[in-house]
C-alpha cells in the first residue's frame, strides 16, 4: 500500500509513459486529464493525486510502487547512439532509450551478486584522440580490435558472445517495423548495446552490433549536443559503418575471397562471412576491388532480384542471442542468493519487462530455473 504522504517521482512518470510509447496527449486522454496536467506532473510543477497514479499504473501496466521508487536513469546521462536514428519515430526512440537504461540498471543490480566479465576494450585511445579519423585509422582500429580479442583474420564465429565475454552488455526488445536496428550507450563505465529483437536476419544483427561497437570505441567523447548537428551525426554514423565493415570483413582475407562478381557467388560468401550481400558489395567498393560503375551495376542486380530488403539465407543463418544477463539471473536465483520474488519487488517492473530485459523464458519468474554453473558469486 502506498502512503498518501508520498509523492510520485516525476521522472518515473515520464519513464513509464515513454516505455509504453505514448506521448503526453495520448497519456492525458487515457487518464482523463489535460496534456498540460501531464506536463506539469513530469516537470515536478504539480503532483498527481493517488487516484491519478492508480489510473496511470493501470493504463501503463506498471505496479503503483514503480512511481514511488527513484529512477536509475537519473544517474545515467550518457549519449545514446542510434543506428538508423533519423528514420525512427520520436516515441519509439524514447522507448528504446528507457529500455537501454533499464538494461544498465539490470546489469548494475546483478553485478552486486555475481562476478560479471571484466571490461576488456582494445587499446585504441592513441587513434581516437586524433582531431580527425581517416579511413586508414578506422581500418587500424578494426585490426587492433581483432588482434586484442584474438579473433584471427577469418569470419567471426559469434560476435554477440565475443562482445559479452569482453564486458559489453547486450539486451533487446521487439520494436515495431524495421526502422530501428540498435542503439548503444556507456553507463557508469559499462558499454550497453540494445537491439531490435524483431530483426530476423542474423547478418543484419551482426552488422548492427559491430556498428554499435564502433560507436563505443570511437565516439565515447561525443556529447548529446554534438549529435544534434546533422552533418556531425552523419559523419560518425559513416565511421561506425566503416568500422563494422572492416571488423566483419578484414581487408586481406576478404579480398582474397573475391574470385567472382556474380551474385550467386556472393550468396556463397554470405554463408561463410555471415554478412549481407549488400554489405559485401559496399566493402568491395571501399577496398577498390570494384569500380563505381560495377558497384552500381551490382546494386541494380540486387534490386532486380528483389534482394534489397530480404536476401537469400536471411532465414537460414542462425541468430546469435545475448546470454550474459539471462545466465546471470538464472545463476543467482538457482543458488538461492536472491529469490525471484525479491527481484520482482526490487525492480518494480511488470513481469513482461523483466523477461524482455533479462532475456529469460516468459515463465521464468513463475517457476524454478535451470542451473548455469559458469559464473562466480561475489
Do 92 and 209 lie in one domain? The reply is yes
Greatest distance between any 2 Cα atoms in the chain: 74
Do 164 and 212 lie in one domain? The reply is yes
Distance CA 193, CA 209 (A): 7
Does residue 261 sit within a domain?
no
Does residue 224 sit within a domain?
yes
Do 86 and 145 lie in one domain? The reply is yes
Do 28 and 127 lie in one domain? The reply is no
Q: What average pLDDT values come out for the chain (378 residues) when binned by 10 residues?
A: 67 96 97 98 96 97 94 64 64 89 94 94 87 92 98 98 98 81 90 92 97 95 89 94 98 98 98 98 98 97 96 97 96 88 94 96 76 51
The pLDDT score that the predictor gives to residue 377 is 57
Do 151 and 217 lie in one domain? The reply is yes
Cα angle 16, 363, 60; round to 5: 15
Do 58 and 138 lie in one domain? The reply is no
Do 56 and 95 lie in one domain? The reply is no
Given 44, 70, 96, the domain boundary residue is 70
Do 138 and 187 lie in one domain? The reply is yes
Do 179 and 202 lie in one domain? The reply is yes
* Cell digits of residue 317: 543463418
The pLDDT score that the predictor gives to residue 178 is 65
Does residue 172 sit within a domain?
yes
Does residue 278 sit within a domain?
no
Do 110 and 250 lie in one domain? The reply is yes
Does residue 304 sit within a domain?
no
The pLDDT score that the predictor gives to residue 171 is 96
Does residue 366 sit within a domain?
yes
Given 256, 281, 303, the domain boundary residue is 256
Do 146 and 63 lie in one domain? The reply is no
The pLDDT score that the predictor gives to residue 132 is 85
Distance CA 242, CA 245 (A): 5
Closest by Cα among 81, 87, 70, 56 to 177:
87
Distance CA 150, CA 270 (A): 22
Own/partner contacts of 1-6, CB < 8 Å, gap of 24 or more, are: 2/50, 2/53, 2/64, 2/65, 2/68, 4/50, 6/68
Q: State the total domains in the chain.
A: 3
In degrees and rounded to multiples of 5, residue 173 shows phi and psi of -155, 145
Does residue 305 sit within a domain?
no
pTM of the predicted structure, to 2 decimals = 0.90
- Confirm if 96 and 68 have CB atoms less than 8 A apart: no
Do 25 and 87 lie in one domain? The reply is no
The pLDDT score that the predictor gives to residue 366 is 85
Does residue 185 sit within a domain?
yes
Specify the CATH number for the domain of residue 103. Answer: 1.10.10.2910
Query: What is the domain extent for residue 95?
Result: 81-256
The pLDDT score that the predictor gives to residue 313 is 98
Given 256, 281, 316, the domain boundary residue is 256
Amino acid at each position: 500500500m502506498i502512503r498518501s504522504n508520498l509523492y510520485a517521482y516525476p521522472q518515473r512518470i515520464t519513464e513509464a509513459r515513454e516505455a509504453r510509447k505514448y506521448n503526453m496527449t495520448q497519456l492525458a486522454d487515457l487518464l482523463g486529464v489535460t496534456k498540460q496536467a501531464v506536463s506539469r506532473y513530469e516537470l515536478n510543477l504539480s503532483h498527481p493525486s493517488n487516484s491519478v497514479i492508480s489510473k496511470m499504473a493501470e493504463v501503463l501496466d506498471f505496479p503503483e510502487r514503480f512511481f514511488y521508487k527513484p529512477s536509475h536513469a537519473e544517474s545515467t546521462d550518457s549519449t545514446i547512439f542510434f543506428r538508423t536514428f533519423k528514420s525512427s519515430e520520436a516515441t519509439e526512440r524514447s522507448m528504446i532509450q528507457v529500455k537501454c537504461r533499464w538494461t544498465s540498471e539490470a546489469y548494475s543490480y546483478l553485478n552486486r551478486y555475481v562476478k560479471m566479465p571484466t571490461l576488456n576494450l582494445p587499446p585504441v585511445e592513441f587513434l581516437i584522440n586524433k582531431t580527425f579519423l581517416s579511413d586508414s585509422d578506422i581500418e587500424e582500429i578494426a585490426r587492433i580490435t581483432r588482434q586484442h580479442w584474438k579473433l584471427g583474420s577469418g569470419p567471426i564465429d559469434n560476435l554477440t558472445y565475443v562482445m559479452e565475454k569482453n564486458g559489453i552488455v547486450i539486451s533487446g526488445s521487439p520494436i515495431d517495423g524495421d526502422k530501428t536496428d540498435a542503439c548503444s550507450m556507456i553507463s557508469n563505465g559499462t558499454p550497453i548495446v540494445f537491439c531490435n529483437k524483431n530483426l530476423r536476419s542474423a547478418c543484419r544483427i551482426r552488422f548492427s552490433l559491430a556498428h554499435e561497437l564502433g560507436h563505443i570505441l570511437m565516439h565515447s567523447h561525443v556529447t548529446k549536443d554534438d549529435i544534434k548537428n546533422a552533418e556531425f551525426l552523419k559523419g560518425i554514423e559513416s565511421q561506425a559503418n566503416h568500422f563494422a565493415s572492416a571488423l566483419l570483413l578484414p581487408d586481406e582475407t576478404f579480398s582474397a575471397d573475391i574470385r567472382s562478381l556474380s551474385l550467386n557467388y556472393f550468396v556463397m560468401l554470405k554463408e561463410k562471412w555471415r554478412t549481407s550481400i549488400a554489405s559485401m558489395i559496399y566493402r568491395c567498393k571501399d577496398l577498390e576491388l570494384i569500380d563505381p560503375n560495377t558497384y552500381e551495376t551490382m546494386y541494380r542486380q540486387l534490386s532486380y532480384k528483389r534482394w534489397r530488403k530480404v536476401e537469400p539465407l536471411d532465414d537460414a543463418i542462425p541468430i546469435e542471442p545475448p546470454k550474459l544477463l539471462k545466465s546471470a539471473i538464472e545463476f543467482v536465483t538457482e543458488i538461492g542468493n536472491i529469490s525471484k520474488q525479491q527481484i520482482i519487488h526490487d525492480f518494480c517492473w511488470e513481469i513482461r519487462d523483466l523477461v524482455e530485459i533479462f532475456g529469460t523464458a516468459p515463465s521464468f519468474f513463475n517457476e524454478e530455473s535451470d542451473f548455469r554453473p559458469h559464473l562466480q558469486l561475489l
